[in-house]
Amino acid sequence: MRQESDHAPLSAHELMNRELEKLPIADVHTHLFDPGMGGLLLAGIDELLTYHYHVAELFRARPDLRPEAFWSAPIQERADLVWRELFVERSPLSEVGRSVVGMLRSFALDPNANDLGEARAFFADAVLDLRGHVDRVLRMAGVREVCMTNDPLDPAERPVWERGFERDPRFVAALRLDSAIMEWPKAVPALRALGYDVEDARSERTITELRRYLVDWHRRMDARYMAVSLPPVLGYPHSQEPWLDLLVRAVIPAASEVGCPVALMIGVRRQVAPRLALAGDSLGATDVESLERLANDHPDTRFYVTLLAREGQHALCVAARKFANLVPFGCWWFVNIPSVTEEITRMRLDLLGPTFVPQHSDARVLEQLVFKWGRSRAWLGRVLGDHYADLGASGGRVTAETVRRDLSAMLGQGFAMPARG
């Protein structure tokens, strides 16, 4: 391979890979927490192996296992079982399996070990200095900022915000709305307990109070955006679903009031297999036409949108060409597999140029940042390298500066609101 020191120009792929390696990433959606929030931040090998992506694969490998027995076992036992079934007895060929192998290697641990003894001892030691471990993981992952998923109605999380904690400026907040609006009126007692005068009927008073909740908590957390995961079909504007009414009458106005974007994560069908708990969710294809109508009716709201199904990704790109306030982001969960991420990202580049956010990690366990971003950098390098090579071959300018500028706009800024003209 040519080296820079040879003064031979780097190929577009070499340049891209070098710049991606150096790029400080703003990870726009994770389920990680500020280390100051105590036990909420998950880390270590047992949490890594009991991640719900592995759990789903465990029950495929061992259909004879009863989920109830699995869930009632201690976490170490569950992690040992996952390791034995998915890493020792079978080759870990799935995306999440290959990722864990790579992650263990980056911590100089044996990815082919017969048991978890070495890894468990290593991570148990590492988390004794949690802040030092966080520093190391962020450095290894090349991540400068981690956006959390924050829910004031979560009884484990709310007291931490109420008590207050010293914030790590690298961990920024996102106000998650699923529990507040998706199963309305289920949230009414919890909102009332927090001092918001809401009732089951979606009266003007209730809407005003729900907005007050959103604005108050947005400010308290200094949140970057409000986010909600939605079913495949939005049915905008005619659906009678309470959540759609609340989205339109409370969430969008509250986001406008505080000047933040709204992230719509569309396409999830929750709990089709309830026995699998977090691993029991599925997906469905999105009606992008509703999204177009929503974007058209709310031109001043910036919607960051990710779709769970492969179907609909092309339509989303086309919709985003019509509505600048629709910004596709990330290859989410079931589409976060290289065969599909490459397809989606090539399509987004072809149709939108560098005006979207190509990836987020969705990490739930700290060390996942290392492998999820390691793997994303690899396919991003292939896809972006091809596009810049093509641009260069056509006579366009491809330099370290232009590549760095574009990468920073796509992956380094988080969900930014454009400056008002």
Residue 289, CB-side half-sphere exposure with 13 Å CA sphere: 3
> Which residue in 50, 99, 150, 229 binds ligand RAT (CB under 6 A)?
229
Tell me the one-letter amino acid at 337: I
Q: Is 27 in the site for Zn ion (CB under 5 A)?
A: no
The residue range among 121-129, 316-324, 354-362, 381-389 that interacts with Zn ion, by the rule CB under 5 A, is: 354-362
Residues binding ligand RAT: number (CB under 6 A): 7
Tell me the one-letter amino acid at 195: G
Q: Kindly state the smallest distance separating residue 225's Cβ from ligand RAT, in Å.
A: 13
Q: Which does 278 bind (CB under 5 to 8 A by kind): Zn ion, ligand RAT, none?
A: ligand RAT
Q: Which does 99 bind (CB under 5 to 8 A by kind): Zn ion, ligand RAT, none?
A: none
Q: Kindly state the smallest distance separating residue 335's Cβ from Zn ion, in Å.
A: 13
- C-beta closer to ligand RAT: residue 17 or 150: 150
316-345 residues near ligand RAT, rule: CB under 6 A: 333
How many Å apart are CA 288 and CA 318, to the nearest integer? Answer: 10
- Comparing every residue's Cβ against Zn ion, the nearest one is 362
Any residues with CB less than 8 A from the CB of 215 and at least 6 apart, and which? Answer: 254, 257, 258
357-386 residues near ligand RAT, rule: CB under 6 A: 362, 364
Q: Kindly state the smallest distance separating residue 29's Cβ from Zn ion, in Å.
A: 6
Whose CA is closest to 209, among 226, 222, 191?
A: 191
Which tokens go with 338? 């290289």
Q: Is 281 in the site for Zn ion (CB under 5 A)?
A: no
Burial letters 235-274, b for 16+ CB under 10 A, else e: ebeeeebebbbbbbbbbbbbbeeeebbbbbbbbbeeeeee
> Which residue in 145, 209, 362, 367 binds Zn ion (CB under 5 A)?
362
Q: Kindly state the smallest distance separating residue 180's Cβ from ligand RAT, in Å.
A: 14
Residues binding Zn ion: number (CB under 5 A): 1
Q: Is 278 in the site for ligand RAT (CB under 6 A)?
A: yes
Which tokens go with 162? 């109420």
Q: Give the footprint of ligand RAT on this chain (CB under 6 A).
A: 31, 229, 265, 278, 333, 362, 364
